[in-house]
Amino acid sequence: MALPIQNLASHLITFFILISCITIPATAKNHNFVKSLDRKSLQIGKEKISHFRVYWHDIVSGRSPTSVPIVKSYSNISSTAFGLIRMIDNPLTEGPDVKSKLIGRAQGFYGSAAQEDVSLLMSMNFAFCEGKYNGSTITVFGRNHVFSKVREMPVIGGSGLFRFARGYAQASTHTFDLKTGDAVVMYNVYVMHY
């Protein structure tokens, strides 16, 4: 026998009142796993902005490539290599020559993320190994429209001297070898940090 609509509605209202009586006290209590901090306890000083210019060497050829495919494109007809993912450990140098002073490594991956044009999803840490920045990282994550003269990607964080970092990176291709697929890209990175 079906319940009249009024009885069903009154049972639902009673049910929701009971549930809220149980959940409201549980969510209102004090949480021990989170607390507010002040800047002094984290030794955070005044925010500053830094500009880095580095050269990113994507070496896909030879005996010791720094960029290797980890997922191949599943489409044989894609002119953009849609779906291809490469893991990278690319040198970051002071000048465009790979033999110039090593500043750090770009470690992460990039993938071909567009079907209509050549656009990459870049996810990498610039892990510095030089001077006071040794051991610190800047994290870049974003879209790289490869054939644009200048591509802009966000800086979404960092570690070491770049804790709480934010900013942007501008990439512009310095050289690209059609035979080998190797590329040198200049990155201008503008980062706000403490």
* 146 φψ region: left (φ > 0), alpha (ψ -120 to 50), beta (else): alpha
Q: How confident is the model at residue 72 (pLDDT cuts 50, 70, 90)?
A: confident
Query: Distance between CA 81 and CA 75 in Å, rounded?
Result: 7
Give the pLDDT mean for 53-64: 97
pLDDT exceeds cutoff 80 at 52: yes
* β partners of residue 171: 151, 187
Which range among 70-74, 148-152, 185-189 shows the weakest confidence by mean pLDDT? 70-74
Mean pLDDT computed over every residue of the chain: 88
Query: Distance between CA 170 and CA 187 in Å, rounded?
Result: 6
Q: What pLDDT does residue 73 have?
A: 81
Q: What's the longest Cα–Cα distance across the chain?
A: 85
Give the pLDDT mean for 103-131: 95
Nearest to 192 by CA among 20, 47, 32: 47
Q: What pLDDT does residue 29 have?
A: 59
Give the pLDDT mean for 169-178: 97
